[in-house]
Amino acid sequence: MDARPAPTNRPSPLRAARRWAREDLRHDLPASLVVFLVAVPLSLGIAIASDAPVTAGLIAAVVGGIVAGVLGGSSLQVSGPAAGLTVVVAGFVDQFGWAVTCAVTVVAGLLQIVLGLSRVARVALAISPAVVHGMLAGIGITIALAQLHVLLGGSPGTGALENVVELPAQLLGVHTPAAVVGLLVLAVLLVWPLLPKLVRRVPASLVAVVGVTALSSALSWNVDRVELPGSLLDSVQLPALPDGRWGALALAVFTMTVIASVESLLSAVAVDKLSGSGKRADLDRELVGQGAANTLSGLLGGLPVTGVIVRSSTNVASGARTRASAVLHAVWVLLFSLLLVALIEQVPMAALAGLLVHVGLKLVKPVDVRTAHRHSELPVYLVTVLCVVFLDLLTGVVIGLVLSVALMVRRVVWAKVTARPTPQSGAPEHWTVVVEGTLSFLSVPRLSRVLARIPDGAPVDVELVVDFLDHTAFEHLSTWREQHERGGGPVHVDEVSGIGSGMSHRDPRLVPPRWFGPWSSWQGSLPEQRHGEHDEAARPLVSGVQEYHRRSAPLLRPVFEGLSGSQEPHALFLTCADSRVVPNVITSSGPGDLFTVRNVGNLAPHGDDGVEASVHYAVDVLRVPALVVCGHSGCGAMQALLAGAAGGDDPLGRWLEAGVPSLAALRAGHPAAPEGSSEADQLSMVNVAVQVAALERLPVVRTAVREGRLKVLGLYFDIGGARLSLLTDDRTAFSPLSDGADVLR
């Protein structure tokens, strides 16, 4: 037996370093410098806002960049002190003192490592985004309110309410030099995104802080400046345990662990989306890396560390390729902190306050409000924000989580029941009852109240758009139906969501309208009175239009509003007029995607103005990138060709003459006709290849293909198997498109 170890594809460290220096260094090095320039002023400002030693922010930036950068599971995430923890840390410093707060950071870091090794990181992603975004917005408002006082030359109060109450007095007694410094910083940060892209390559925060620092020094303004106790190494402070209050300490550790972990994991997921590389971060490893960084940062007297989306997004936007960028940025912070301490002490406190006001306000994102509103979670977001601002962070998050769970439970067990009358001339008033959601025993009282409003003898349609119907609700609805019908009122129950067909697990908001369901699948038992004067011939069409206006139109209206002024279809789709071929269904497309041309046999006869005009308009005016000819199995036109119908005196015979070349090609043994298929289906496939060739001979198509802006494709739809195949480039065979097959290589 060969006892040698199995070979591995992992390169040696030396080879990996050489490869990085050859391929990625030129990308990671400049990215690290940009992130470093962003990190320094933010680290200083966050430390001040946290009531921590100024150097604690620099220590956290160095440790977070190196330790989390090396050990974390997100290669492009940059870690360091985060604005999201400033309120928490400031509270701990006030409650325990700085040394004990460092101990809290150490224990929280160790707990993060345990959680990461337990592989439970993704559990944090189950927290409602409305709660997380509300928490961050509340923190941002709290930071902005406090730092606004510093910006104006004063001191912040002990809470948000006090800061709001005292703000008018602060404005009346504004300290002019400090206010000018802070407002200049804010002005630069607000104007910078409007400047040319070349200018914006320099970080706005760096320009703002360095610019006003230089200006205030040159003009000798009397403003408070950053005070450092000594060098970075002198600031290293070991943590200490408190004298008692172990319950409060445990709560502090829990709070820091949860917030730091959730913020880091959400940031890692966001970085995955920003990078566009398709790679996913290892969230369990990321939690271990963050825990190791927090443990070391706390031991050295630094702030707690999280993944920071501001620095991470800057890292991605600057072109970073590997985790070396995050590590290098920390090295630059370390060198700056050791060698340029005198420069840090020249920075006005009001400048950092202006920076923090901007950072705080940026945490309040309109897109988060819109998203929460769209998902019916705006109350959760607003309650979380208000409780975080005016109570405290942990209380606000807990209240937000409780409200989120309560709303979720309500949506799960509570059905929406509405009833509306539709007056009809010369007939009893018609009522429509719509039940949406989960129809359980908890919704029976409301259902009963709504049904009691319906007059005796009135015709009623009950539409069940529900994902679950329990026994109690079913019995109540059945009993009411029997009683109402005994009183002379016909009742029609329409199970829109198909709960009787095994679809009860579906979310009612995701149940599609009957866009593509055949009329026969849902109109078989519609009551006569819904259609009034419409006769039987028009009945299915009218019912379909009514269903469209009731369910599809509200959802499609935004799409059609966007298409009302123009169209930009992706393809001209030439297919048969057969009712079984529905182009938008078999291509999973929607309004505006296909410029569809239909005729008997999907033919493209030379000299036919109708087809050629459509092709010319699609290619020359709409500039579609693709022309598609789609044939299908069981085609009546192909069967007629085989029966000799082409060339007859009737319109169909004259039209089918355009299919004679396809019939001749089949007789000559065209390779696109597979063995084992019926002769009519073989002719359908050959006809696709022949019509593709006919389209390619049209001058407008030939020119577009030669210019490389048009592709002519052939499709074949097997109706019985509901499968599509694509004609190969050599026009000799069809390749199945099912099961993710790559036929476009």
398 occurs within a structural domain: no
pLDDT in tens, 318-328: 677 888 889 99
**393 pLDDT higher than 90:** no
Tell me the H-state helices in 465-538: 471-486, 519-522
Statement to judge: residues 732 and 641 lie in one domain: yes
% of residues, the chain, pLDDT over 70: 85
Pick from 360, 359, 459, 470: which is nearest to 419 by CA?
Answer: 459
* pLDDT the model gives residue 694: 93
191 occurs within a structural domain: yes
Poorest-pLDDT segment among 56-60, 332-336, 493-497: 493-497
How many other CB atoms are there within 10 angstroms of residue 291's CB atom?
29
**274 pLDDT higher than 70:** no
Res. 570 pLDDT band, cuts 50 70 90 = very high
Q: How far are the Cα atoms of 127, 158, 206, 334, 356 from residue 149, in angstroms, in the given order?
A: 34, 12, 22, 31, 12
Statement to judge: residues 387 and 428 lie in one domain: no
CATH number where 619 lies = 3.40.1050.10
Statement to judge: residues 103 and 193 lie in one domain: yes
CA 135 to CA 514: how far, in whole Å? Answer: 40
Statement to judge: residues 450 and 548 lie in one domain: yes
* pLDDT the model gives residue 444: 85
3 occurs within a structural domain: no
Contact indicator for 174, 182 with CB cutoff of 8 Å: no
* pLDDT the model gives residue 30: 74
Give burial (CB, 10 Å; 0-12/13-18/19+) of 271: buried
* pLDDT the model gives residue 554: 73
CA 294 to CA 41: how far, in whole Å? Answer: 20
Owning domain of residue 465? 414-516+536-553
Contact indicator for 466, 447 with CB cutoff of 8 Å: no
* pLDDT the model gives residue 456: 85
At what angle are helices 699-706 and 679-697 packed, to 10 degrees? 80
pLDDT in tens, 202-246: 777 777 878 888 888 888 777 777 666 666 666 667 788 877 778
Statement to judge: residues 259 and 349 lie in one domain: yes
* pLDDT the model gives residue 95: 87
127 occurs within a structural domain: yes
29 occurs within a structural domain: no
Chain center to CA of 442: 33
DSSP SS3 for 465? strand
1 occurs within a structural domain: no
Indicate the pTM of the whole model: 0.56
Determine how β-strand 594-599 pairs with β-strand 626-632: unpaired
Statement to judge: residues 633 and 660 lie in one domain: yes
Averaged pLDDT, 318-347: 81
Statement to judge: residues 696 and 587 lie in one domain: yes
Statement to judge: residues 572 and 703 lie in one domain: yes
224 occurs within a structural domain: yes
17 occurs within a structural domain: no
Ramachandran assignment for 230, one of left (phi > 0), alpha (psi -120 to 50 degrees), beta (any other): left
Averaged pLDDT, 146-174: 73
Domain C-terminal end among 494, 528, 553 = 553
CATH number where 544 lies = 3.30.750.24
Statement to judge: residues 56 and 138 lie in one domain: yes
**3 pLDDT higher than 60:** no
Statement to judge: residues 478 and 600 lie in one domain: no
Statement to judge: residues 307 and 258 lie in one domain: yes
pLDDT in tens, 88-122: 888 888 888 888 999 999 999 999 999 989 888 77
Statement to judge: residues 335 and 442 lie in one domain: no
Averaged pLDDT, 148-173: 74
Domain C-terminal end among 528, 553, 578 = 553
> How many domains does the chain contain in total?
3
Domain C-terminal end among 495, 528, 553 = 553
